[in-house]
Structure 1
Amino acid sequence: MSLFAEFHVPSDVFALYRTLQAAPETTVEIERVVAAEEILTPYFWVSGGDLARFETAIEDDPTVENLQQLDEFDRATLYRANWTENVETIVYAYTQVGATILEATGAGDRWELQMRFDDRDRLDQFQTYCNDETIPFQLIQLHELTQPRTGRQYGLTRKQHDALVTAWQLNYFTSTDVSLTDVAAELGISQQSLSQRLHRGYQSLIEETLIVSPPAEEGT
């Protein structure tokens, strides 16, 4: 049975600690992590603060390398990088047990992580790994995949759930008078962040519903 867990961890046990210390007004939101040939490549949005200060700080950060700027908007900039082997804490702990990072937001001295574990044993392995390596973490919420199914149990993070529900409540999906900017303003986030949350939310809903339960054959 899948488990969805929300953790708070100090930034020095995850990634970009030096960068977040040098640019404390900056917020980093990881969009997804791609693994290829044992190299972990995060794609992340950066918002707030001085972007030049952030880029200068990240050059001296031992936890990432090969930084590339992919897209730049008014309120957020999308980057790609490689996590280095110096990140032998939470980053590699979750790969050891096959967990999935659904969402990760870092600012100042803290990261907020939302992760999915296939079962209780994998969560226990993760906690044991963290305890053995003296990695501090604070478990905030834990949800199981039980009936009736809720948004989180469909693979949605809290922020994705809030984005989809707010968009629905404002009639974004049915009215041409409501724009993405309107929904973003209601949530107090940038249009780019909202777009990414909706995109990831759609993907999770499709994977957990349409793919799991294919349509019946025509005529049945």
Structure 2
Amino acid sequence: MSLYGEFSVPTDAFALHYTLEQIQEITIETERVVATEVGLTNYFWVSGCNLDEFETVSEKDPSIQNLRRLDEFDRATLFRAEWTEQVDAIIFAYLEIGATILEATGSHDEWHFCMRFDTHDRLDQFQDHCDDQGISFRLTKLHEITQPHTGSQFGLTEKQSEALVTAWKMDYFTTANVTLADVASELGITPQSLSERLQRGYQSLIANTIVVTPPSD
């Protein structure tokens, strides 16, 4: 049975460490990671900072290249970039043991990950690899996944899936009697946060279901 694990690593042990160290107020949230023959392409949201400053600082960041701004919303902006270094453990997880990043959030102090591993052995391999590379690894939560169907197969994070399912169960999409504030209150978040979470969820669902072949650049 697959495992769901949450863990943290220091900022300097993963991608965009230079940018996170230079801009203390910034938050980076991974949307989707795509594995290619040459490495990993990361789609991520940036919030809490000036976008021009972020782009200027990230040009000096050795861990990414080919940064591109994709979509802008009220409080977060979607970017795409290729990882170049400081992501060895994650590349190993993707390419060698088939782990999946469900969520990844970076701040000035650390990166926090939610990942799915197919078996306990795969998790052990990942931990051993981190130890071999001298990467500080702090596991905060681990449990078996008992639900056979999750939103991650459609590119959804756990929070996005929870928001969409909760809104659906409350008939938010079918009646005017249920407001965004009602659903946000049920989830314990602000209406603004829920709105952004739903928008990101819509985008992931469309990209991974309706749009079979993404448009070329």
TM range (shorter): 0.7 to 0.9
Give the alignment's TM-score, normalised by structure 2.
Answer: 0.79
Q: What aligned pairs does 1:19-168 form with structure 2 within 5 A after superposition?
A: 19-84=19-84, 86-95=85-94, 96-146=96-146, 149=147, 158-160=158-160, 162-164=162-164, 166-168=166-168
Aligned AA for 2:89? Answer: I
Aligned AA for 1:135? Answer: I
Q: Give % identity.
A: 50
Give the alignment's TM-score, normalised by structure 1.
Answer: 0.78
Q: What is the CA distance between 1:174 and its match in structure 2?
A: 3.3
Which has the greater radius of gyration? 1
Give the conservation status (yes or no) of the 8 Å contact 1:71–1:77.
Answer: yes
Q: What is the CA distance between 1:193 and its match in structure 2?
A: 3.0
Give the conservation status (yes or no) of the 8 Å contact 1:22–1:54.
Answer: no
Alpha carbons of 1:181 and 1:87: their partners in 2 closer, same or farther (altered >3 Å)?
A: farther
**Runs (5+) with no aligned partner, structure 2:** 210-217
Give the conservation status (yes or no) of the 8 Å contact 2:39–2:91.
Answer: no
Total equivalences in the alignment: 202
Deviations 1:37-91 (A, max 9, x none): 132100011111221211111110000000011111221111111000x224432
What is the CA–CA distance in structure 2 between the aligned matches of 1:5 and 1:110, rounded to whole Å? 16
Q: What aligned pairs does 1:160-199 form with structure 2 within 5 A after superposition?
A: 160=160, 162-164=162-164, 166-168=166-168, 170-178=170-178, 183=183, 187-188=189-190, 189=193, 191-197=195-201
Aligned twin of 2:7: 7
Alpha carbons of 1:39 and 1:93: their partners in 2 closer, same or farther (altered >3 Å)?
A: closer
Q: Secondary structure at the match of 1:18?
A: helix
Give the conservation status (yes or no) of the 8 Å contact 2:7–2:112.
Answer: yes
